[in-house]
Amino acid sequence: MMKRVIVNDLMQQGYTYELSEPVGKNFDANFKPELTPKEILELGVFGGKYMTDCKDEFPDDWFENAKLNHEFHDPKLNCFGVNASQSLRVWREKGWIHEDDPRGWFQWYCRYYMGRRHEDDERQIKRWVNMRRHTSQIKKACIQGDFDCHRKQRQAVLHWAYDSRKI
């Protein structure tokens, strides 16, 4: 039997979806994220401001060690200490936001990880695959383990579940 999730947070009220796959399992063959949503939140992303109002939707343990700031976006909380985010306004203008995931790709990934399968999966997985070019650029430009090299780009790929600490 599928589990139904009802979302009521600052960006969505009454949005409902079903979890049809086990948590963290049965991903598309082209989608092999290196980090779980929990790991990404613990490393520090989006200045800590992302998802501070939607803890009810996801497992409590995702937030136990997450680097969050309920008051404002603080790039110092990010794993590489830099701001690597574009505003939500920019994402909307570029057509990157699906109405069911108003926070963008990471929200889609969190829900996909939990077991939701959705009409937008193919597009989002293609976007994730396309981010791989940034990991290649880091590999070409930086000595492995030099976290001061391409910090903004390292932070950006971290948002997309690529573990840039291993590059």
pLDDT at 135 over 90: yes
Residue given tokens 């650029």 in the structure block:
137
- What does DSSP assign to residue 15? E
Q: pLDDT class for 86, splitting at 50, 70, 90? A: confident
Under the banding of pLDDT at 50, 70 and 90, the label for residue 76 is very high
* Domain extent listing, the chain: 32-166
Neighbouring C-beta atoms of residue 124, cutoff 10 Å? 20
Residue 51 — pLDDT band, cuts 50, 70, 90? confident
What does the pLDDT look like over 30-47, one tens digit per residue?
999 999 999 999 999 999
pLDDT at residue 1 above 80?
no
DSSP state of 82: S
Average pLDDT, the chain: 95
Overall average pLDDT of the 9-17 stretch: 95
Give dist(CA 140, CA 115) in Å, integer.
35
Residue 14 φ/ψ, nearest 5 degrees? 75, 10
Summarize pLDDT for 116-130 with one digit per residue, the tens. Answer: 999 999 999 999 999
DSSP of 33-51, one letter per residue? Answer: -SS-HHHHHHH--GGG-TT
Residue 41: the pLDDT is 97
pTM over 0.85: yes
- In contact, 5 and 20? CB cutoff 8 Å: no
